[in-house]
Structure 1
């Protein structure tokens, strides 16, 4: 408990000009949870104790805890207090807007990173030839990446792009769409298919999940404004942290 008191002292997390105090406290507690300093089922100090430790008002504490509850990181139990939830933070990805993994996390203040598993220009597979409409002389630029948010593995993405659209896949470090935009070849629409599957041993290993865990498989084909298909991505997303959301309208 003494270590936690030290970690929650305002000198550890508050920086002038870096946002509201409740938001900074919320981010700091999030980091403590992700790093394991706060484990599942650990109890936070009471609202009054936390305010005294951090030297802030109880209103500020209340707002920070509310934000953590909304994110699914903290669970409040009537008459018992606030506990680290057994479930991690969940992220919503809209199925109706063409936003990359990197952009989605950046919008939430989360640092995205990628580990490149494979990258190069290859003879296309029959699937790539059919979906991307490649001619016999064309090649497919492939990028296979493990995508993480704040160091936590969240998704695997296997992307293929015609080599005339992306002649040098080595340029892609984090965001594929950022590179395509710089070339004036970013897609303007996409079709996505979402399926629930059990992770293979390899997928589970990379995403740090038990073998056979349910994951979300996303297949996306993206198009230029002309209608030409220029990206095919098959991705595997952790179902314990990702929700895919679509908006329906009455025409």
Structure 2
């Protein structure tokens, strides 16, 4: 970490502490960039790096032309595991704004496990998507999704304005995946979790690996591996 990075990291930490101790409450406007520059004795570039860090952590959000505001405080999200669990629908029922962002994707040949699970040949292809999901502007989960490419030809043409994978599949391919199996386990957060979810390393998070079928084709269609923040999520399993 160079000197500039150390300075803006320290400023970001001090602002984080002020948010967490209630000095700034949800909906409060932060001081302007000019005021923060004067307060910390640094230039605009350093302050912008610090603010970008807080945005990434979901602690603040920008309002164009008005400044930066403190995000809604963390609330616990119920995540029911059913055949038709839908992230966006589930959060909307809890009066929580849901959103998703595509971090990256590729189309590739499946590995041996994916071939077995999705009933594919080694010469077939899969879409490999990496998605971060947000609840009220705060990052809540990282998901890798593997889809059988033959059922969603040209999927990449619909990824430019990505918000909800299952809504996209329903709108453009008439696919409503049904979960057939989920495996849950507690794991320890890694550097990637820290970077994207804004949590410390080596704290418990919930990992869920699921398989979903395409009910029209009556065969496995999707493998998903989600890593959810333990401080925001609780899973509900209905019998």
Q: Report the Cα distance in structure 2 between the residues aligned to 1:40 and 1:193, rounded to whole angstroms.
A: 37
Instruction: Check if 1:98 corresponds to 2:87.
Output: no
SS at match of 1:181: helix
Structure 1 stretches lacking a partner, 5+ long: 1-34, 45-86
Question: What is the CA-CA distance between 1:210 and the residue it aligns to?
Answer: 0.5
Deviates more, 1:108-117 or 1:153-162: 108-117
Q: Structure 1 residues 224 and 116, CA, compared in 2 at 3 Å: closer, same or farther? A: closer
Paired residues of 2:99 and 2:164 also in contact (CA < 8 A) = no
Question: What is the CA-CA distance between 1:203 and the residue it aligns to?
Answer: 1.8
Q: Report the Cα distance in structure 1 between the residues aligned to 2:219 and 2:83, rounded to whole angstroms.
A: 19
Question: What is the CA-CA distance between 1:189 and the residue it aligns to?
Answer: 3.6
Aligned equivalent of 1:5: none
> Alignment partner for residue 186 of structure 2, among 185, 189, 196?
196
Aligned equivalent of 1:48: none
Paired residues of 1:198 and 1:214 also in contact (CA < 8 A) = yes
Q: Structure 1 residues 185 and 115, CA, compared in 2 at 3 Å: closer, same or farther? A: closer
Question: What is the CA-CA distance between 1:228 and the residue it aligns to?
Answer: 0.5
Aligned equivalent of 1:89: 75
Aligned equivalent of 1:152: 138
1:67-96, CA deviations, whole angstroms, 9 ceiling, x for partnerless residues?
A: xxxxxxxxxxxxxxxxxxxx9311111112
Instruction: Tell me the TM-score normalized by structure 1.
Output: 0.62
Bigger-Rg structure (1/2): 1
Paired residues of 1:105 and 1:111 also in contact (CA < 8 A) = yes
> Alignment partner for residue 213 of structure 2, among 208, 223, 226?
223
Q: Structure 1 residues 106 and 168, CA, compared in 2 at 3 Å: closer, same or farther? A: farther
Aligned equivalent of 1:239: 230
Instruction: Check if 1:127 corresponds to 2:113.
Output: yes
1:118-176, CA deviations, whole angstroms, 9 ceiling, x for partnerless residues?
A: 11311212232221111132100111011111210100010010111222333241211
Paired residues of 1:199 and 1:212 also in contact (CA < 8 A) = yes
Deviates more, 1:170-179 or 1:233-242: 170-179
Paired residues of 1:189 and 1:224 also in contact (CA < 8 A) = no
Mapping for residues 3-152 of structure 1, pairs under 5 Å: 39-40=20-21, 88-152=74-138
SS at match of 2:151: coil
Paired residues of 1:146 and 1:157 also in contact (CA < 8 A) = yes
Q: How many residues align?
A: 172
1:172-197, CA deviations, whole angstroms, 9 ceiling, x for partnerless residues?
A: 41211112222122223421111000
Question: What is the CA-CA distance between 1:38 and the residue it aligns to?
Answer: 6.3
What is the root-mean-square deviation in Å for CA atoms of aligned residues?
Answer: 2.5
| Structure number with higher relative contact order (C-alpha < 8 Å, ≥ 6 residues apart) | 2
